Amino acid sequence: MAKVSWKPGTMIYPLPAVIVTCGTMERSNMLTVAWTGTICTNPPMCYISVRPERYSYPMIRDNMEFTINLTTASMARATDWVGVRSGADYDKWQETGLTPMQGEKVACPYIAESPLAIECRVKEIVKLGSHDMFIADVVNVLAEDSLIDPATGAFDLGAAGLLNYSHGHYFAQGEPLGRFGWSVKKK
C-alpha cells in the first residue's frame, strides 16, 4: 500500500472521549478530554493533558485531583457540549443535565451517568507545549453495578456502549472481535 507523508501531528486514534470532573461539590466543573490514558499498571496511574488556558486547569492544579468519567453513546451530545463551552460562562451540570455525585476518595464530583469513574490524585505536572500533562495515581474506581456479573464478578465495560473520538469525530464503540490472547488460544 502506498503512503503519503503528512506533517507531524497527533494521529493516534481512536481515543476514549472522557469527561474530566474537577473542583469540589461546592465549585466544580467538567471538561471533555481526549488526551488521556493509562501509563502504569502497578501502581495504577493515568494521565490527562489539558491546555493551561482552560477554565478547569487551575481547579485541577490547585486541588491536585480529578476524576476521569468514561462516556457512552447516550452521553455524546453532553460530551461534545462540555468540550466546546467554558465553565466560566455556563453551569455545565445544569446545561447538560448530567448528575454530580460526591467523590469517595477525592473532593471532586463524578458523573452518575458514567459507567466508570476513575478518581485520581495528581503526582506531577509536566509542561509539554500546548498542553500540560497531569500524571496521577488512581485512588479509586467507581463501576456501574449493572455491568458487573454477580456470579463471576467480571466487569463487562464493553456492554456500556462507550464513546470514542477519532480525528474530530465521535463514534460508538464497535463490534467485539476477540478477547485478549484470542489469537494464540488453543482450540
- pTM here? 0.94
Specify the pLDDT at position 10. 82
Contacts of 1 (CB under 8 A, 6+ apart): none
User: Nearest CA to 77 among 55, 59, 92?
Assistant: 92
Specify the pLDDT at position 179. 81
Reported as a single tens digit per residue, the pLDDT across 11-35 is: 889 999 999 999 999 999 999 999 9
- 60/109 Cα distance (integer angstroms): 12
Specify the pLDDT at position 46. 98
User: Nearest CA to 63 among 113, 1, 108, 105?
Assistant: 108
Specify the pLDDT at position 176. 80
User: Nearest CA to 45 among 164, 153, 126?
Assistant: 126
Specify the pLDDT at position 177. 79
The residues of the chain scoring below 70 in pLDDT are none
Residues in the chain: 187
User: End-to-end distance of the chain based on CA atoms, in angstroms?
Assistant: 33
User: Nearest CA to 138 among 49, 62, 40?
Assistant: 40
What is the CB neighbour count within 10 angstroms for residue 3? 5
Reported as a single tens digit per residue, the pLDDT across 60-81 is: 999 999 999 999 999 999 999 9
Specify the pLDDT at position 94. 97
